[in-house]
Structure 1
């Protein structure tokens, strides 16, 4: 349990603190808050918000908001991608083999369910509402892995098989979320040829600083070339490749916060992973895990500023988008996970882990309804501040729905009691 609390305090407490400060600031002095968020760091720069001048030439303005959301959050998504990559590629990866089949199907339900509820209710509210909020369909699909895992342990107990099932679902949900961001939420006009720069940077780093030294050291147990590269160059070649890849994403029109993803698989990694909340994970010394350890404290600070710059929503903005996001999460998630999990376990005869019941899928869905971090991020890219509904910003109202998703923790505890979940200790 210490490892879980340690993860939450490291990566989430500062995020919550930043969000609380933002809420107070935005509701007491909204003018100064929004001036702070859009504070211009450098005008006419190589990176930043693109805008055209009177001659049609594109210029970039680097604001504080862009620096945090589009540049620095790339390190947060790189850590998420690292967990997904290991879960998929390693021999004992949690998303490989038959053991992952039912959780993966349930993950699909945990995405389609919220989308159906969100868009379905929006359509019932009328065409004006539907047209205003439709682009935010992905907001309620997200699951905050840290808080969901913590609440899952509180509901089921650390030794319950449903906790591991929840973790598999959350990791798969993160993977799907990264794909959704890349495909459905471009940051500008698409220019896919720029992705060649990202691919070339990642491939070059992998060949020159990972594959080639290992090939030259084949048969030599001392591995002199690989050791020299690791000791002398460390992560720097991959950081340079990451900068090039990030720039390629920006110019390609794909959200640049995902710009480090192609480089993550290029880093040398251990032959096995113990899992994101395993105590043994901290003892892995491969370069991929070493880079994650180095990013730990910087990402804590980044998440504080992410909360500070994105959660500043005036309470007057609460409206239909708020309740649509919340309904998608707390209604669509549990029902989707239950239905698709039943299809996988019973209809496809893939089964559930020993000790799990079908009704546990519903409780897992309630826990997974805590969207928060990624939901907040998607809300910030799905809408710009100019889209209005009921006299308020759709983006602000949708963000409030993401913040309110913390209520799913209380719903999960009640659902656990009603469904007679028996806690199991390790």
Structure 2
């Protein structure tokens, strides 16, 4: 991901660089849905289920109920088609982190944050499932165990810089943890949240798409458009047909785009100067994806406040308790059990606080909410509300950091951007 450019781009660049279009879309959806609920208007519901064929005079009837994917509906176009670009960029960050110099390239340096990531998945899932059993709602809500496992990398990074200071090693630790969490999230979505029983035969088309991408690379094709419109479309369709969430459809193609042989670190300023195919893909799509995220928030965050329920508290319990407990426990195990080290300048005040910060699930948590509970209704809405309210982890982490005596350190952004790789 390219470095922040806010200082040179004014308010518009500020909104783009800080992923605030997503927040604006989500807030707009909340206000709209609650206003519509108060006056009995179906306007928000009509937006989500709008059939785009009516724009050119096509069929204005509802898509048949036995068509689970609703090809022509706004919600399908945004969640299943356009969001594939968001997950492709997430996959790009994960792939680059494995290159020399990347945050995950050195197993010894990455071992402690990777174990912390595991704790940040197991802890929330356990809290969620224990809560579901204790409240007698496992049958209705148990499938959503992965919702609180997510960490929103953009928002957590912003909050971490506020709490720790741009150059503090806790920021690099959190970035590495969030990158690994992205990788785990992609795998969880693919394996545990198919839209129907998986049909493995269709994955042969994925293999063919990957083979085609290898061929394009050998032919020294540099345009990312040919990779996306050729192998990318094939892989997306194979995922769709295999009943793996199609938003992950571009992920298998990303490693085959010609790329630099090393990683400069997430948010590194010098990455803007790279012109390899993988970076050009990210440079081109970065701003459009922010608008896509705004639309994603608009069509998914429209939950009425009366939807707060057991699912909400299970998700928040997983994020606010499970995340810090799991991350702290696994870091302690890494240090005391496996004799691994935490970065110099960090103690368990920082570990616990960054565990709270990683409880900002938001984007991916909201996405998993829809994947786990695809049928609209009270259950989906209650879980969505938990994903949305996870943003409250930000002020909670700031207050906890102050209570624990954590003071932001003074350092420039470039130090922070590359600290994960040092």
Same-fold call, TM cutoff 0.5: yes
Question: Residue in 2 aligned with 1:109?
Answer: 119
Assess, with a 3 A threshold, how the Cα gap between structure 1 residues 234 and 249 changes in structure 2: closer, same or farther: closer
SS in 1 for 2:318: helix
For the pair 1:330 / 2:313, whether they are aligned, the reply is no
8 A Cα contact 2:206 2:234, kept in partner: yes
TM-score (norm 2): 0.88
Cα deviation digits, residues 148-206 of structure 1 (max 9, x gap): 01111111111111110000000000110000000000012311111111121122122
- Pick one of 258, 261, 281 that aligns with 1:271: 261
For the pair 1:157 / 2:165, whether they are aligned, the reply is yes
Cα deviation digits, residues 297-318 of structure 1 (max 9, x gap): 2212211110000000011111
- Pick one of 344, 355, 359 that aligns with 1:369: 359
Q: Equivalents in 2 of 1:15, 1:69: separation in Å?
A: 13
Assess, with a 3 A threshold, how the Cα gap between structure 1 residues 234 and 277 changes in structure 2: closer, same or farther: closer
Q: Equivalents in 2 of 1:200, 1:106: separation in Å?
A: 36
Question: Residue in 2 aligned with 1:187?
Answer: 195
Assess, with a 3 A threshold, how the Cα gap between structure 1 residues 124 and 23 changes in structure 2: closer, same or farther: same
Superposed, 1:153-232 pairs within 5 Å as 153-206=161-214, 208-210=215-217, 212-213=218-219, 226=220, 229-230=221-222
Q: Which has the higher strand share?
A: 1
Cα deviation digits, residues 264-306 of structure 1 (max 9, x gap): 0110000112222111111111010001111022212211110
Question: Residue in 1 aligned with 2:271?
Answer: 281
Question: Residue in 2 aligned with 1:241?
Answer: 231
CA RMSD of aligned residues (A): 2.3
Question: Residue in 2 aligned with 1:40?
Answer: 51
Q: Equivalents in 1 of 2:289, 2:110: separation in Å?
A: 29
Q: Equivalents in 1 of 2:230, 2:406: separation in Å?
A: 49
Assess, with a 3 A threshold, how the Cα gap between structure 1 residues 36 and 177 changes in structure 2: closer, same or farther: same
TM-score (norm 1): 0.88
Q: Equivalents in 2 of 1:160, 1:369: separation in Å?
A: 19
Q: Equivalents in 2 of 1:179, 1:334: separation in Å?
A: 22
- Pick one of 238, 244, 260 that aligns with 2:250: 260
Q: Equivalents in 2 of 1:87, 1:317: separation in Å?
A: 39
Q: Mind listing any 5+ residue stretches in structure 1 that lack a counterpart?
A: 214-225, 388-392
Assess, with a 3 A threshold, how the Cα gap between structure 1 residues 270 and 7 changes in structure 2: closer, same or farther: farther
Q: Mind listing any 5+ residue stretches in structure 2 that lack a counterpart?
A: 7-12, 412-422
Q: How many residues are treated as equivalent by the alignment?
A: 394
For the pair 1:294 / 2:295, whether they are aligned, the reply is no
Question: Residue in 2 aligned with 1:397?
Answer: 382
